[in-house]
Amino acid sequence: MPELPEVETIRRELDKSIRNKIIDSVLLCRKDLRIKFPDRFSEKLIGRKILSVSRRAKYLLIELNDKNILVIHLGMSGKILVKDHAPDPLGKHDHVVIRFKNGSVLIYNDTRRFGLMTLVPNKQLKEHELFRDLGPEPFSGEFDAKYLLDKLKNRTAPIKNILMDNRVVVGVGNIYTCESLFRSHISPIRKGNTISSEKANSLVKNIRDVLKEAIDSGGSTLRDYARSDGDSGYFQHKFKVYGREKQSCYNCGSIIKRIVQQGRSTFYCPNCQK
């Protein structure tokens, strides 16, 4: 999936392109994604106006003028495109087409269908099952070295797995966890409870820095991700370790290693990261 920078890039674009638009029709090409669409989903959207587009973790929150939020998660392969006209024919994995009064359309495309789209009343968002267990946003004041150390102190799991746990901090996926650990010179296999307060401090800074730099680059474009205007992000060119197995470390020249943790690839420099 898009990680936080990719979702944030899409959010910014959508906030410009669909804010104040009124939904004219909704086409659902199937009955579910990762979860079912709400009952009478189309009827609940038609006639509503988009007030804003915000973000929590990797969820896009599209605020409607009826005190409901259209929640969208892109999973691993979800894409949102906004166009002047609906394509004809639709793409194979175009699952939802939302048409606005001016004729423009928002197309939700998701090859693997790990994404979701649902409606949640504004006031119930925090307690909703998708949101209630989420940890702090990485850019929030709550996410600091003291907080992180507290979360790590009794944990023997590898630091990489802990950072990818949304209950600890949200939005930091496979790529940016690897990149942050490299910047902080921390081995991804280090146990959480062995991280010093200096290292925790460094991690918080580097997680924020790498996410911010990626947002400034319009995210990273790999296989599936595309921006809502169809352009690519370009942060992928700035990866220091992700996807660089068997290549040499930009710091020390050692060979970048790929290992598997929780079924996900981890890339790191065994010499720089201890």
Partner DNA sequence: ATGATGTCCTGGGCGC
Partner DNA sequence: TGCGCCCAGGACATCA
Measured on CA atoms in the order 207, 273, 217, 19, is the torsion positive or negative? negative
Integer angstrom CA distances of residue 268 from 213, 242, 259: 20, 8, 8
Which residue from 161, 180, 206, 217 is in contact with DNA, where contact means CB under 7 A? 161
Name the one range near DNA by CB under 7 A: 39-47, 101-109, 154-162, 195-203. Answer: 154-162
Active-site residue, selected from the candidate residues 21, 48, 55, 58: 58
Question: What is the CA 102 to chain-centroid distance, rounded?
Answer: 29
In the DSSP assignment, the letter for residue 23 is: E
Q: Which is nearer to DNA, 73 or 257 (CB)?
A: 73
Task: Tell me, yes or no, if 121 is annotated catalytic.
Answer: no
Binding of DNA by 222 (CB under 7 A): yes
Binding track, positions 114-153, relative to DNA; x by CB under 7 A: x---------------x-----------------------
Q: Residue 241 and residue 267: Cα distance in Å, rounded? A: 6
Determine if 188 is a binding residue for DNA (CB under 7 A): no
The answer to whether residues 17 and 60 touch, using CB atoms and an 8 Å cutoff, is no
* Integer Cα distance of 188 and 194 in angstroms: 12
In the complex, least distance from residue 158 CB atom to DNA, rounded to whole angstroms? 6
The answer, yes or no, to whether the previous bond of 89 is cis (omega within 30 of 0) is yes
**Which tokens is 138 given?**
């990485």
Catalytic residues: 2-3, 58, 264
Residues that bind DNA (CB under 7 A): 1-3, 6, 34, 57-58, 73, 75-77, 92-93, 111-114, 130, 154-158, 161-162, 166, 173-175, 192, 219-225, 260, 262-265
